[in-house]
Structures are given as C-alpha cells and as structure tokens.
Amino acid sequence: MKRKGLLIVVSGPSGAGKGTVCREFLRNNPETVLSISMTTRQPRRGEVDGENYFFTDVATFENMIEEGGFLEYAKVYGNYYGTPKSFVKENLMAGRDVILEIDIQGALKVKEKFDEGVFIFIVPPTMEELKRRIQGRGTETSEELLRRFNSAYQEINFITRYNYIVINDSVKEAAKKIEAIITAEKCRVDRNKDFYTSLQGGIDNALSFNR
Ligand code: 5GP
C-alpha cells in the first residue's frame, strides 16, 4: 500500500526566519512540496502571484472560507492568510510530503484537525536578534514593526504545543535539522503499521513452514 505523505508545519514568530529556512530545506529536498497560501495582503516588491502567495481580495477570500476551501486560515496583522485545502490533500494522498509555512494561530488550528502532522517551531537565537531581523527587513512601517515585535514576544509562549524546536542561528543547520526530524518521524513505529503487520504475517508464514 502506498504510504501517505507527511504534513510538516513550520511555524514561529515573524522574524524567526521560517521562510528562509524552508527555502533552504526545499532546495535540498525538491521532492517535498510547499503549500502556497492565499492572502489579502498587498504584494511586496518582487513578490510573484502564484509563487509567493495567491494574492486575492477580501470578498474572494471570504467566499472560499464559506465554501470550506481552507485547511486553516487566520487574520495576521489585519490581513487574511489561508492554506488551500485541496492542494494539501491531493499531495498527501499521492504520497508527497507537504510543508506549510504558517503563523502560530494557523498551526494550532491544523494541529486540532490533523494531529499526525509534524509541528516545528523555529526560533531566533535571541530576542535581540529577532528584533534586528524584523527591523532589517525594512518593508514595514514603524507601527507595523511594533505590532510584529509585540506579537512575537507573546507567540513564543505557544512553543509547548509543538513537537520540535529548531533554533535558527544558521540557516543551513536549521534546514538540516528539519531533514533529520522528517527522517526520524518516518521511522516512528506508529507511522509504519502496514509494514510491521506485513512482517508479522511473514513471521507466521515462516513458523508454519518449519512445522
Ligand atoms: P508575511 O506577510 O510576512 O508574508 O506573513 C505574515 C505571517 O503570515 C507569517 O508569520 C507567515 O508565516 C504567515 N502565513 C503565511 N501564510 C499563511 C497561511 O496560509 N496561514 C496562516 N495561518 N499564516 C500564514
């Protein structure tokens, strides 16, 4: 029987570097697919529709909520962000691992529905570094920056709901840790029931053969 793909949820406060770590991971693991979120936020300079996000308007987004088209969605800093459900479902069923890079509210909603996912929390090495990274991006107004700092401080408290913590002091190392986590997760006994039951069947056959 074909094994279902693994749902990997990468989350953490804004400025922790989840996007960069995910890109590095995907560069080394091209067989894993990234779910592209839908958002009502305006594209930043250089962002491409269908690559970074599916950019849309509030009415279309709310329509899709009504139709049950999202695995999860959340309002982050005044804009909607959501994970289209069908893409994730189709790829998991086809045996491909799917990675979601989403905020903490969204990750917790996925966990309620889909506890067999792997929930990874990316953190910066220090809060000073987090502050530096949010400022360094230079794309937000000072009001927006303050909002992001404040929520980042609060969001750290949700870490205990996750399975793994990855400290992003080096992007390469952090991406390697995600690889290691996925390898270990795939070796978990509860994810290999079909395999070990077929082995148990094999033991029964071998014993009857010797009798
Ligand atoms: P940004 O505006 O910087 O691209 O993203 C803002 C926040 O929204 C980030 O924490 C990002 O991970 C999160 N985000 C992106 N896509 C989704 C999504 O589909 N669902 C949720 N819940 N959060 C998302």
**How far is the centre of ligand 1, averaged over its atoms, from the C-alpha of 55 (Å)?**
12
Contacts of residue 67, defined as CB under 8 A and 6 or more positions apart, other chains included, come to none
Mean pLDDT of the chain: 92
pLDDT confidence of residue 112:
95
Of all protein residues, the one whose alpha carbon is nearest to atom 15 of ligand 1 is 102
Question: Which of 102, 105, 122, 137 should be mutated for ligand 1, with most atoms under 8 A from CB?
Answer: 102
The residues with which 80 forms a beta bridge, in sequence order, are 75
Domain that holds residue 130: 1-32+97-200
pLDDT confidence of residue 45:
92
Question: Which of 81, 99, 130 should be mutated for ligand 1, with most atoms under 8 A from CB?
Answer: 81
Q: Are residues 115 and 183 in the same domain?
A: yes
Q: Are residues 83 and 103 in the same domain?
A: no
Q: What is the mean pLDDT of residues 172-195?
A: 96
pLDDT confidence of residue 187:
96
Distance CA 26, CA 179 (A): 10
Task: Look at 51-55, 78-82, 149-153 and tell me which has the smallest mean pLDDT.
Answer: 149-153
Greater model confidence, 17 or 135: 17
CB 19 within 8 A of CB 81: no
Q: Are residues 154 and 172 in the same domain?
A: yes
Ligand 1 neighbours, Cβ below 6 Å, are 14, 18, 37, 41, 72, 74, 76, 81-83, 101-103, 105-106
pLDDT confidence of residue 210:
59
Q: Are residues 110 and 168 in the same domain?
A: yes
Q: Are residues 135 and 115 in the same domain?
A: yes
The vertex-103 CA angle with 102 and 109, nearest 5°, equals 85
Q: What is the pTM of this model?
A: 0.91
Q: What is the CATH number of the domain that holds 63?
A: 3.30.63.10
